Amino acid sequence: MRISNLKTLAVVAAALGTLVTLPAHAGKTLDGIKAKGQVTCGVNTGLAGFGAADSAGKWTGLDVDICRAIAAATLGDAEKVKYVPLNAQQRFTALQSGEVDVLSRNTTFTLTRDASLGSTSTVTTYYDGQGFMVPVKSKIKSAKQLKGQTVCVQSGTTTEKNLTDYSKANKLNIKPVVYEQLEAAENAYFTGRCIAYTTDASGLASTRNKKAANPADHVILPELISKEPLGPMVRRGDDEWFAIVKWTIYGLIEAEEYGITQANVDSLKATSVDPVVKRILGTSEDTGKLLGLSKDWMANAIKATGNYGEIFERNVGPKSPLGLPRGVNNQWNKGGLMYAYPVR
């Protein structure tokens, strides 16, 4: 905890330091990445399924796979990522100051964040909504029953404001207890300090499955009280880098749509006659050149992480420990919201 407090200070200090020492022009992020030989990626401090390190220090999760895909597309090697775990309130400062090249940390896209924080939203990688988790034994069935209750929440999130909005709109007079650290907020809920814990529904599922002594003791209430489009953000003012991140994600989504998988990418590269597949894999047009990348940039990314559907299934899907349904995160032609702009 103390280390993390120091870290907050360090990040803020670094931000202030960088703001004052950088020359007055936006640096080319891609040049920096090529010079360093690695992509620096801001991830969650530990949210299973999205961004968490295992006991061996290996990072996994949906957000982490996006980082890996970007590294594969830019450097040809998905392992060339430096992960910087950030808590909710450190993340934008870390991005502003250049400490990370891309912030892939289940971050909600909002107008304020887009227009006033020096950051830009790229593409939604997970459509989510804020929910509540309560102990089964509390017998609470609806968020409307939380009148006058304490709810644990992490600071520096859209969650805090959504909770207030919902409480006000429904005259619930909910008392928030705000923690700086994700772990502190989760622990406070599990020890019973708060009757409920609130965050994005995916986060609730992750916390319940990974941190509850017995996941069956906790229930996620049916109400989703907000829209939370989550995805990576990049620094403002570097349009080339913005395009790379954006189109890498579109490429992963489109790869799923056209059936390109981690397993068949090599054989499709050699044999496919489908013009769309050939374009994505860089065997016909050279889309990589337009982005300042190699011709097979997207093939490298798919080979490293699989397409979007594979990333989803592996990290958070029904067969993973989190067991989240595909729902609105399915392809547009399968009733979902995942609609990739054409890679061409």
The residues binding other proteins (CB under 8 A) are 1-2, 5, 12, 15-16, 19-22, 24-26, 88-89, 92-93, 96, 112-113, 115-118, 138, 140, 148-150, 152, 155-157, 160-161, 163-165, 167-168, 174-181, 184-185, 188, 191-193, 195, 235-237
**What are the tokens at 170?**
């429904």
Contacts of 82 (CB under 8 A, 6+ apart): 38, 39, 40, 41
CB of 334 to other proteins, least distance (A): 36
Closest CB to other proteins among 19 and 328? Answer: 19
CA nearest 326: which of 308, 312, 339, 314? 312
CB of 148 to other proteins, least distance (A): 7
Closest CB to other proteins among 176 and 336? Answer: 176
Contacts of 167 (CB under 8 A, 6+ apart): 173, 174
Closest CB to other proteins among 76 and 85? Answer: 85
CB of 280 to other proteins, least distance (A): 32
Report d(CA 223, CA 181) in Å as an integer: 25
Closest CB to other proteins among 231 and 288? Answer: 231
CB of 24 to other proteins, least distance (A): 5
Closest CB to other proteins among 1 and 273? Answer: 1
CB of 310 to other proteins, least distance (A): 33
Closest CB to other proteins among 68 and 235? Answer: 235
CB of 241 to other proteins, least distance (A): 13
CB of 20 to other proteins, least distance (A): 4
Report d(CA 90, CA 96) in Å as an integer: 10
Report d(CA 98, CA 12) in Å as an integer: 12
Contacts of 121 (CB under 8 A, 6+ apart): 109, 113, 114, 231, 233
Other C-beta atoms closer than 10 Å to the C-beta of 309 total 22
H helix or E strand, kind and range, residue 292: none
Closest CB to other proteins among 150 and 320? Answer: 150
Q: Are strands 150-154 and 196-200 parallel, antiparallel or unpaired?
A: parallel
Report d(CA 291, CA 282) in Å as an integer: 13
